[in-house]
Chain A
Amino acid sequence: MKKIWHIGRLDLKLMVKDKAFFFWVLLFPLAFILIFGNLFGSSRTDTRASLTVLNQDRGKWGAYFIRKLESPKIELAVVNEPPAEYYRVLVIPPDFSTRIERKAAQEIQFLKDSEADLKAGAVADTKITQAIVKLLAELVMYGNRDMKAFFDTRNPYRDLVSVHTRLPKDTIAKIPSGFDHTLPGILVQFVMMMVLIYGGISVMEDRKHRVLARILYSSASFAELFGGKLLGRLLMGLLQSAILVAAGLLLFRLNLGNVWLSSLNIVVFAAAMAALSIFVGSVLRKEELIIGVSMLLANMFAGLGGCWWPIEIVPPAFRAAAMVSPAYWAMDTFHKIIFFGKGFAAVWPNLLVLLGFGAVSTALALRFFKVEE
């Protein structure tokens, strides 16, 4: 065990000593995070629809109606003058109260700007309809009683109707987006890329320089050598993850959900990549080839596996193909933990799949790993 640690720790040290280390593990991924994070928006503007209400009413009913529009999903702005710019505006006419009290027909206007977001508009539409239904229901129940007494605090018909919206269990309540999606995505991509490149090249170089053979000149066993190399590459992946998580916390207020579970996901994923990197470094003999293959694998897995855009937005056929990418399973685990608040019970099958990837990679690595050319 001590020798495994001794051998593994050195690989981490050599990676950190590399001149380009900080560029590769910090600056490069940060650029990716900024690009994709902004491309797929931030989660805040997406779910809150803005609604401007122009209240021209001279009685109490206008304000009462507006209160019924209030909701966490709506960003409500009440104005008295027609606004110069708006996405959507609801106009309450000056005789709104008078007409209600007279039980006369009523017309309210809902204006939308051509640039307004359709989804947000739908949220506002629903809210307005709900408010109208509530108000009508109350008026019907109140019947022919004195309209002036409606606002009396003892009136039992006030705020009579309330609507609770609840979605069925397991509905995708929101599509993962913004930096909370992009950061784990780029983290997964770079764990793949860095572990495969650094880990693969160093296995190849150590073999070429007979460093691997020389380790076996000591009483270290083959198992200790292989274990040490595996551990070293796992540590590389964990270091890359730690750097991006730290940057994410500092710069983007990253939310990892259940930290322990997210960490477990990272460890299992990095271990699979560690084994894969030994395989890559064992079968390839040229540095450029290892970089090329690693880049190709990492980016293919990343694109396919939903590191760059939420897999929820791609067609089902594509989503099925994504399952061959280990990144898909790691990302799906992150989504379950971060966006849907799921626990171990929901993610263990994913982790098992990743362990499977790790087992296959380890078997391949063991089959091809050799200490000399």
Chain B
Amino acid sequence: MQQKILEIKNLGKSYGETTALANFSLDLAPGEVLGLLGPNGAGKTTLISILSGTLRDFSGSVAFRGQDLFADRRLKNRIGIVPQEMAFYEDLSALENLLFWGGLYDIPEKELKRRALELLAVVELSTRAREPVKKFSGGMKRRLNVAIGLVHRPELLLLDEPTVGIDVQAKVSILDIIREVGRKGTSVVFTTHQLAEVEQTCSRIAIMDQGKILATGTLAELIRIVGEKEIVEVSGEFSATAFSEAIPAPSGAGIEILSVSDDFAMLAFADSQDIPAMMQRLFAHRLHVADLKIKSPSLEAVFLKMTGRSLRD
């Protein structure tokens, strides 16, 4: 069996009363691009901080290619980390930033400059390479933030919500960069709370909530968790409690409520023949249904089933 590039075992971390990570375990094979999906406060940033070595006082272990990650500082030369914040110098140009950050690794000057220019082309910043970064748009800054994590050509790239706070087009270009990096053989872990991002970008997906991994697998594997079911989305004007009273869960063998909130509910049906019966019960309880969608199982359904809560908050 191929050696794992990353083996995280039973990580635990608390901030006083709050448990940020509990028994968190995750493996990564070389070349994998793993999307770590988790809602706000799930512990994503805490995980990245531990892996980056800036957060101490945790329990559990992390091995990088079989070695204790925290035993030898030089291992950090082989890992690239892109924080959630735009952590760079706004008064410097993109090129100057790359030369500074790359200069922290033992790369010969000429080689560093060559790599920096090459990387600027990859993240499509070549034409603005010598402008002060503070003049950049949010999307451009995000791309530079990613480029800085790549300048020393790491074997493993960790990104914390690399697409947060930017427009759709900028997101697409960041995801393209991640896919391209993965295609060239770098292993990648990136955190997000955007379902579409992991569906499009990752070779493997992990769902986490409240400091734990709930499920991992390829998109197809995860969808199988929900099973060969019809997913029904109901929206209208009703309260969550009224809906639950109308359709008590679990109501019969074939119907499963994946999530319910005010004005929106998602259900899984083993048999689509049961859908009209559900509608009748809603009408009988005088719940106003405005829209009903029947879908095939998606990652969203899996996510709702696993976490019981929506990502959209």
Contact = CB atoms under 8 A, between A and B. Distances in A.
A213 B54 contact: yes
A211 B97 CA distance: 11
Interface string A337-373: 0000000000000000000000000000000000110
A315 B76 CA distance: 60
Contact of A219 (B54, B77, B86): B77
Interface string B80-123: 01010111111110000000110111000000000000000000
B95 to A, nearest CB: 13
A3 B85 contact: no
A14 B54 contact: no
Contacts of A242: none
Interface string A313-335: 00000000000000000000000
Nearest to B53: A216
Interface of B: 52-54, 73-74, 76-77, 79, 81, 83, 85-92, 100-101, 103-105, 148, 152
Interface residues of A, number: 21
A221 B104 CA distance: 11
Contacts of A219: 73-74, 76-77, 104-105
A109 interface: no
A214 B105 contact: no
A215 interface: yes
A2 to B, nearest CB: 8
A286 interface: no
Contact of B91 (A17, A218, A220, A372): A17
Contact of B104 (A6, A14, A18, A372): A6
A58 interface: no
A7 B104 CA distance: 8
A178 B282 CA distance: 95
Contacts of A210: 83, 85, 87
B87 A211 contact: yes
Nearest to A218: B104
Contacts of B54: 213, 216-217, 371-372
B53 A214 contact: no
A243 interface: no
Nearest to B81: A217
Contact of B105 (A213, A218, A372): A218
A209 B87 contact: yes
Question: Which 10 residue pairs are nearest across A and B when measured between Cβ atoms?
Answer: A218-B104, A210-B87, A214-B87, A219-B76, A217-B81, A210-B85, A6-B103, A219-B73, A219-B77, A213-B54
